[in-house]
Amino acid sequence: MTTTHQARTAAPAARVVEVGPGPVTPEQLVAVARHGAAVRLTDEAYGALDRGRAVVEGLAAGETPAYGISTGFGALATRHIPADMRAKLQRSLVRSHAAGSGPEVEREVVRGLMLLRLSTLATGHTGVRRVTAQLLADLLAHGITPVVREHGSLGCSGDLAPLSHCALALIGEGEVRDADGVLMPAAEALAAAGLQPVELAAKEGLALINGTDGMLAMLVLAIHDLRVLLRSADVAAAMSVEAQLATDRVFAADLMRLRPHPGQAASAANLVAILTDSGVVASHRGPDCHRVQDAYSLRCSPQVHGAARDSVDHADRVAGWELASVVDNPMVLFGEDGEDGRVESNGNFHGAPVAQVLDFLAIAAADVAGISERRTDRFLDRNRSHDLPPFLADDPGVDSGLMIAQYTQAAIVSELKRLAVPASVDSIPSSAMQEDHVSMGWGAARKLRRSVDGLARVVAIETMTAARALDLRVSTGSTTGVRPSPATEAVVRLLREHGVEGPGPDRHLSPEIEASVALVASGAVLDAVTATIGELQ
């Protein structure tokens, strides 16, 4: 699986995000990371940068060793570094820590982590100079994206290797991609943009690489995408309930109030709204219907989707706390009067809070994908589909219909279960046992991106399967000529307009699956529903 089809809303108009001492918002991160918005440091940020830098320079001029300013790093922190070697110390730190390996990380992730590092720098608590912070802002503004490699971060002392690859570009070294995606040396890209590399001063190399910014950027992007996908899963579930002649009575608000989980109530309300005015649902509400209860995958959709929604809400709270955090080690602190600054070592760089919710969301994605696949499978089994043709095939036996589309779902769901195994419970000691417990948050974030992509694909296959089943319902059997709900009819129409054809003889199916994935992941399926019945919860 790739992460090609991350859920995206329409790109906003080009704009500039101002970065000051306060936290950036998730909306600002998405605008910069995904939609290419530029950034600008505020006057307040410059003031904070100058104040923090004054503290660092005062300590650098003193005789007392200060970690990260006049000493080595990690297990080498006991060595005092003389003043004439400190520029080399910072440069060597960045070069040695830019040790990533593997495929390039996506542009949106790199831009996101650059923005978050800049936000921390702008607080003044890291002690970097304004020229260094400004160059990081300039790289974002010019669309210059350092090449960051997939493997290298343990998620403790921050995302050291990924951030080091970004810091390397600031000193004019390493590889970057320009605004057009062309790979080139960093020095060449800086020169083409009229920018000068910086020579890092005391503490600056450390301040540029010591943060949870990569895993946090991926968390914020995943939350954004999952909010789209979980509502899209409600749409798919409603289509399945309708096309499998199930009841919507189990989603009634008074039933939901008996178990007051907010996500469950929201999902159930969405199902009721989507199925409103469905002729198909109304057609089997009379005394002739002898079905007592629907299968769990239909009846319990709000409970499963709602649990995932509540998990996303919890992750969003954690992300908000982390966005408001300043992560570096050591940290520049100020007295109550703004004077008498000091530098203190700390453990705020440990990625455990972020890593655990990243793992939590991978579990939620796997669970929602699992129930979606089960709803899809019911359509294809003639013993459970209530008079639909086997595999929704045109001529069963000659045609296989959507048989293998469900195989694709099953393969993805199986992978999502593997990806749901938590990364944050693992730890491998590093730095000669100085860093003896790490979060593995970067790994948790990388697998969550695959999970989000997989969920989009599974929901898309359910959506196209339910659409074909609805077409068959309204053209054959007891529901001939009966109209589905306006909302689900709008989704079927959208699919047909984008090359996802209705029932008929077998044809090359992969392009239709990919078209469905794009419509689900982009939010187009959700938009088709909301344009018809209004916003969903």
- 398-424: average pLDDT: 97
If you ran DSSP here, which 8-state letter would residue 24 be given?
A: P
pLDDT category of residue 175 using cuts at 50, 70 and 90: very high
pLDDT category of residue 288 using cuts at 50, 70 and 90: low
In the predicted structure, residue 456 carries a pLDDT above the cut 80: yes
One domain for residues 404 and 518: yes
**Strand, coil or helix: what is 158?**
coil
One domain for residues 206 and 235: no
**Total of domains in the chain:** 2
One domain for residues 207 and 231: no
Going by DSSP bridges, is the β-strand pair 16-19/38-41 parallel, antiparallel, or unpaired?
parallel
One domain for residues 178 and 237: no
One domain for residues 255 and 195: no
Listed residue (194, 184, 146, 170) closest to 91, CA to CA? 170
Count of residues for the chain?
Answer: 537
Looking at the domain assignment, is residue 216 inside a domain?
Answer: no
One domain for residues 33 and 114: yes
Alpha carbon distance 51, 198 (integer Å): 20
Residue pair 72/88 in contact (Cβ under 8 Å)? The answer is no
pLDDT category of residue 37 using cuts at 50, 70 and 90: very high
CATH number at residue 454: 1.20.200.10
Looking at the domain assignment, is residue 366 inside a domain?
Answer: yes
One domain for residues 204 and 243: no
Looking at the domain assignment, is residue 460 inside a domain?
Answer: yes
Domain boundary among 176, 211, 246: 211
CATH number at residue 154: 1.10.275.10
Ordered DSSP codes for 281-327: HHTT-STT-------HHHHTHHHHHHHHHHHHHHHHHHHHHHHT---
Looking at the domain assignment, is residue 3 inside a domain?
Answer: no
Looking at the domain assignment, is residue 4 inside a domain?
Answer: no
Domain boundary among 178, 211, 244: 211
Domain boundary among 181, 211, 241: 211
Please say whether the dihedral angle defined by the alpha carbons of residues 484, 488, 489 and 492, taken in this order, is positive or negative.
negative
Provide the whole-model pTM.
0.94
CA–CA–CA angle 115, 161, 201 (5° rounding)? 70
One domain for residues 317 and 417: yes
Looking at the domain assignment, is residue 343 inside a domain?
Answer: no
One domain for residues 39 and 119: yes
For the record, the structure tokens of 269 come out as: 């309300």
- 452-456: average pLDDT: 98
Q: Which of 58-67, 188-197, 269-278, 385-394 has the lowest mean pLDDT?
A: 58-67
Looking at the domain assignment, is residue 386 inside a domain?
Answer: yes
For the record, the structure tokens of 145 come out as: 């994206």
Q: What is the pLDDT of residue 1?
A: 39
Looking at the domain assignment, is residue 433 inside a domain?
Answer: no
Other Cβ atoms within 10 Å of 327 Cβ, number: 23
One domain for residues 25 and 127: yes
In the predicted structure, residue 379 carries a pLDDT above the cut 50: yes
In the predicted structure, residue 365 carries a pLDDT above the cut 80: yes
pLDDT category of residue 7 using cuts at 50, 70 and 90: very low
Arithmetic mean of pLDDT over the chain: 92
pLDDT category of residue 430 using cuts at 50, 70 and 90: confident
Residues labelled as active-site residues: 67
Bond before 330 cis per omega within 30 degrees: yes
User: What kind and span of H or E run contains 337?
Assistant: none
More confident position, 63 or 98: 98
One domain for residues 287 and 185: no
Range of the domain at 500: 227-335+348-428+440-533
pLDDT category of residue 61 using cuts at 50, 70 and 90: confident
One domain for residues 236 and 320: yes
Alpha carbon distance 62, 224 (integer Å): 47
- From the number of C-beta atoms within 10 Å of its C-beta (0-12, 13-18, 19+), residue 390 rates as middle
Cross-strand pairs, 41: 19
